[in-house]
Amino acid sequence: SKKPVRVAVTGAAGQIGYALLFRIASGEMLGKDQPVILQLLEIPDEKAQNALKGVIMELEDCAFPLLAGIEAHSDPMTAFKDTDYALLVGARPRGPGMERADLLAANAQIFTVQGKALNAVASRNVRVLVVGNPANTNAYIAMKSAPDLPRKNFTAMLRLDHNRAASQIAAKTGKAVAGIEKLAVWGNHSPTMYADYRNATIDGQSVKDLINDEQWNREVFLPTVGKRGAAIIAARGLSSAASAANAAIDHMRDWALGTNGKWVTMGIPSNGEYGIPKDVMFGYPVTCEGGEYKIVEGIAIDEFSQECINKTLKELTDEQDGVKHLL
Ligand code: NAI
């Protein structure tokens, strides 16, 4: 049988943590033959640590055959020791009266510390997924704080946007979501992201031709996907958690086990592809094979798409400029 791999999860006692850990432990992320050791990080606060103890008791009570160990931590320097995968979920939420700059600064502090800890103690090939918002900028900060690790191993979660877009397209066309190929989401995990179905097919047919309604694309589809997070908060009184955890599982599983040629979306550091400046943590369509992702190249960018990409890029470079002095 396989040797266990180490999976670190931060914010482990939070909502997403609760929807995520049981699925990792059951083998849904890394495969039904891959034992895992969970290294769980929460803030030192007594309430958070107690909540984490409760989650661990429940994980124990599932008696998962693949769960080879569980550790509780309050310090990233121990939580990330030798870790092969790190899911950075915990972040500072926006509190009442908090300005955007304060939010960026509070998270810059967290992700600088965690990036440095990964740099110091994680496996040299650790694969990092940042979920905590602002996810792209937090991933950028962690990457910049970990100069000894491969840049390409730092990623941000755009998969929820991708899955939301796929679901809207399936509903609009009346076809099954499983038939969708070649969907892309560009840019920031924020309402500025650009979900792009120009090349997509569903059951082999062009999505654009099937829908044949550019007004729907611009006035219904894009705002619906972009504002889906806010719609869920309005309905549930809490931010999306199960769907976010599901997207994190999809992102890591596809990265580790491959996509079989299928396009998926990952937030990854640019190397200049599609004119995005180097190092910007940008949502791109990728395929994955052998544990590596590869950007889908050669997609034609028309005028409207370029405008959308410029807008989401501008937001990201503004965020990144806003934290540069803190790095
Ligand atoms: P939550 O508030 O329920 O849980 C967050 C947990 O993180 C808390 O238990 C908190 O104690 C912990 N935490 C905070 N700072 C930490 C630190 N420095 N180290 C370790 N743990 C820390 O929040 P929830 O709903 O689980 O969401 C987590 C994050 O995910 C939020 O930032 C949210 O905005 C983001 N999110 C991102 C999505 C995406 O698509 N990228 C989608 C949905 C949520």
Sign of the CA dihedral 221, 226, 230, 235? positive
Residue nearest to atom 20 of ligand 1 (CA): 42
Q: Hey, which of 52, 118, 131 would you mutate to test ligand 1's pocket, going by the most ligand atoms within 8 Å of its Cβ?
A: 131
pLDDT single digits (tens) 38-69:
999 999 999 999 999 999 999 999 999 999 99
Q: Which residues line ligand 1 (CB under 6 A)?
A: 10-11, 13-17, 41-43, 48, 89-93, 110, 131-133, 135, 157, 160, 189, 239-241, 244
Nearest to 138 by CA among 326, 276, 274, 296: 326
Output the CA torsion sign for 229, 235, 237, 242. negative
Least confident range from 74-78, 105-109, 120-124, 269-273: namely 105-109
What is the Cα–Cα distance from 260 to 248, expressed in whole angstroms? 18
pLDDT tens by residue, 116-127: 999 999 999 999
Question: Residue 12's closest CA among 82, 78, 71, 77?
Answer: 71
Distance CA 11, CA 66 (A): 22
Binding site for NAD(+): which residues? 11-17, 107, 114, 131-133
CA pair distance 76, 79, nearest whole angstrom: 5
| ipTM of this complex | 0.99
Active-site residue identified among 73, 162, 189, 251: 189
Residue 251 designated active-site: no
Give mean pLDDT, residues 98-106.
85
